[in-house]
Structure 1
Amino acid sequence: MKDCLNVCLIGTGRAGMIHARSYMGNVVGARLLAICDPCEENLKKAQEELHVAYTYADYQVALQNKEIDAVIVVTPTGTHKEIVLAAASAGKHVFCEKPMAISAEECDEMIAACKQHHVKLQVGFMRRYDESFQKAKEVITSGRIGEVTMIKSLTHGPSEPKEWMYDIAKSSGPIGEVNSHDFDTLRWYADSEVKSIHAIGRNFRSCEKKAEYPDYYDTVAVLLEFENGIIGMIDGAQYVQYGYDARAEILGTCGNVLVGSQKNNNVSIATHDKCMHAEVMPSWTKLFKDAYINEARDFIRCIREDDTPRVSGHDGKMALILVREGLRSLLEKRPIRIGE
C-alpha cells in the first residue's frame, strides 16, 4: 500500500468541514486530496481554506480520479446511498456520516456493496472515539462496577431549530437530530441489541410553532429494554440555550461510572456572594474536536491494516432503526417491540 492515502470529502457544509480539518496535518499517512460539492459557493469557500489539489461539483466525476483512495460522505441523508454505492463500485473506501441512510433497506444495500467490492465502510459516531466515553467502556469491560444494570445517556443542543427541523417527517425531531448518538452509545455500552423502546415527547420551547407543526417536540424521554436485560434511558432536547450537553451514566451491581461534564474548561470562579461560576460547553464541535481526529485516524488505520471499523455499517443501520422506532413510539403513544 502506498505511503499516503488520498481522501476526497464529498459535502463541504459545516459538518463536512469538521472532517476536512481533521485531515489537515492530523492524520499520519493520509491527506485531503480533493473536495466535492454541487454548491459553488460552499466549494469556493472550502477551497479558500483547504487549498486541495482537486475540486469537483459532481461526485461521479470525482470518483473517476484514480488517485483517490477513500471518500468522506457528508451530504444530505437522502443522497448517501447513491454516493456510497458509486464509491464502492469505484473501489473507494467509505466513511459515511450519520444518519447512514433513509431506511434500513438502504443501509443493507450500502453494506452489501462495500462488502462486494472489498472496501471499508465506517459510520460517523464520534463518541466512540472520545477519550472519556472510551474510558467508560473500558471500565464496563473490566467488570470493576460489576454487572451493568442500567445505562443513561443525554444530549441537549443549544441552537434554535431551523424551519425544516420543525417538520418531524424530515428531521425526526430530537430523537433523530441529537439522540442518534445516544442510541449508538447505549448499544456500544450494553453490547446488546434493543428489545423494546418507548418514547414520550413534548414541545416546551417553541410554542409558537404548535399550530403549524402540531407533532413537533423539543424534549424527549426514551426508555429502552435490551435483549440482555439491561435497562436504557435517554433524554434529548433542542434549543436549551444554556450550552451543549452530552453525558452518560452506567450503573452496575457494585458501582457506577459518570461520563462527561457541562463545563467548557477546568476553570471555576468563586465570588464574594459565595457562588461558584464556570463556563458551559458552547458546542459539540469543541467538545468532540479530538474525537473527530481520532475517528479519522482509525478510519485510515482500518484501511491500512485491513481491520474492521469500530463503527460498522450494522451499527449505523441499528441506530437508524432505533430513531425510526423511537419516533413511531412517540407518535403512536405506546411502547414498540423492535421488529414487530
Structure 2
Amino acid sequence: MDKLGIGLIGAGRAGMIHARHFRSNLNNARLVAVADPNESIAKQAATELEIGDWYTDYRQLLADERIHAVVVVTPTKYHKEIVVAAAKAGKHVLCEKPMAMNAAECDEMIDACTQAKVKLQIGFMRRFDESFLEAKRLTEEGVIGEVILVKSLTRGPSKPQPWMYDLRLSNGPLAEVNSHDIDTLRWFAGSDFASVYAIGGNYRCKEIQEQFPDFYDNVVLTGSFKNGKQGVIDGALSAQYGYDARVEVVGTEGAIFIGQTHERTLVTADKNKQLTRPFMNSWKTLYKDAYLSEARHFIACILEDVQPRVSGYDGKMAVAAVNAGNASIRKGEVIRLG
C-alpha cells in the first residue's frame, strides 16, 4: 500500500481542519473523498481540498474501496450510526468528540470496531499538544509531588449552532465545549470520575430561553475521582472576549499551569501609554499543531498496528461524565458514577 486513503465525513469547521492535514501534511496518507449531507458544502469542500470525489451520503463514501480510514466530524447524534457502519465496512475510524450521546452508544461503537479489527481513536487533540504532553511528563516524574486537584476551563466566543440549544440533540455545552476539559481531568488525575456536581445557567442566550428552558451557556462542574483526587471545570459559550482554554494541575509540592490567552507575541504601546495584546481568537489557532500530531498518530497506529493513545474507553468515560453532569444540573444533586 503506497498511501492510506482517507475519507472525511462531515465538512464543517472542525472537519475541514482535519481534511487539510490529511490533504497536504501527511506523507503516508491521502485524502480521497468527502461526504456531507449538504450538497453545496460537500462540493465546496472538494473544490477547496482539490479532490475529485464528494458524496452527500456517507454510505457511498464507505463503499469506496480506495478509502481505508475515515474521520467522522458530524453532529454527535450521528456518530454511533456512522462509526458502526464504518467498522462493518472495514474502515479505521478517527471520531471527533463527543464520542456519542450516551455510554450505551459508545459500547456499540467500541464493540463494532473490536469485532471488525479496525482502529478507533477519539479526537481529544489536547493530548497531542506539546505543552499538555510536557505537563503530563512532569506530573509523572513527581515534579509537583502527588497530583491533588486538576482545574480546566474552556470559554468559547461563538454563539451555539441552532441544533445545540436542544440538549436532546447535543447534550449541551458540557459535551460540545467541555468534553476536552473532562478528558483533561481524567488524564491528569489518572482515574475515572466517582461523582460529579454541576450547576448551569443561561446568561448570554436569553432569546431562546422560552423555547429551550434547559439550555445553559455557563457551567461549573466539580468532581471526585476513584483514586481520591479532585477536579473542577469552568465552561462558557458566547464569551465575547475570545477563546480561553487553560489548565492548572495542583500537587502536594507545586503546580503546573497550561495555556495562554494571547494569540501572538505582538504587544502595542500607544500614545495614551496603553499596552495592548491580541487575545486568543480561536481553538483552531491554539491547537493547530496538536491536530496535526493527532492525525500523524492515527495513521501510525494503523500502519504499525498499535492501539491509539486515546481510546474508545476514554471517549466513553467522557460521555458518562457529561451525562452525569447534565443529570446533576437537572436534579440539583451530586451524581455518582458506577
TM-score range, shorter chain: over 0.9
Secondary structure in 1 aligned to 2:23? coil
- Mapped contact 1:246–1:260 kept (Cα < 8 A): yes
1:58 shift after superposition? 2.2
Residue in structure 2 matched with residue 248 of structure 1 by the alignment: 247
Secondary structure in 2 aligned to 1:295? helix
In 2, the alpha carbon distance for the partners of 1:89 and 1:212 equals: 39
- What root-mean-square deviation, in Å, do the aligned CA atoms of Structure 1 and Structure 2 show? 1.5
1:95-174 to 2 correspondence within 5 Å?
A: 95-174=94-173
Residue in structure 2 matched with residue 225 of structure 1 by the alignment: 224
List 4+ stretches of structure 1 deviating above 6 A: none
Equivalent residue letter for 2:176: E
- In structure 1, runs of 5+ residues without a counterpart are none
In 1, the alpha carbon distance for the partners of 2:310 and 2:217 equals: 28
**More displaced 10-residue stretch of structure 1: 66-75 or 294-303:** 66-75
1:171 shift after superposition? 2.8
1:20 shift after superposition? 0.3
**More displaced 10-residue stretch of structure 1: 300-309 or 86-95:** 86-95
**More displaced 10-residue stretch of structure 1: 190-199 or 153-162:** 153-162
1:96 shift after superposition? 0.9
1:63-78 to 2 correspondence within 5 Å?
A: 63-78=62-77
Residue in structure 1 matched with residue 205 of structure 2 by the alignment: 206
Between the two proteins, the alignment pairs up a number of residues equal to 338
In 2, the alpha carbon distance for the partners of 1:25 and 1:163 equals: 32
Q: For 1:257-283, what per-residue CA distance to the aligned partner results, in whole angstroms no more than 9, with x for missing partners?
A: 000011111122344545432100111
In 1, the alpha carbon distance for the partners of 2:289 and 2:152 equals: 20
- Mapped contact 1:198–1:334 kept (Cα < 8 A): yes
- Mapped contact 1:37–1:57 kept (Cα < 8 A): yes
**1:115 and 1:281, CA in 2 relative to 1: closer, same or farther beyond 3 A?**
same
- Mapped contact 1:28–1:297 kept (Cα < 8 A): no
**Identity of counterpart residues, as a percentage?**
54
Equivalent residue letter for 2:51: V
- In structure 2, runs of 5+ residues without a counterpart are none
1:298-309 to 2 correspondence within 5 Å?
A: 298-309=297-308
Equivalent residue letter for 2:117: H
In 2, the alpha carbon distance for the partners of 1:8 and 1:164 equals: 25
- Mapped contact 2:77–2:170 kept (Cα < 8 A): no
Equivalent residue letter for 2:90: G
Equivalent residue letter for 1:28: N
**1:162 and 1:113, CA in 2 relative to 1: closer, same or farther beyond 3 A?**
closer
Equivalent residue letter for 1:152: K
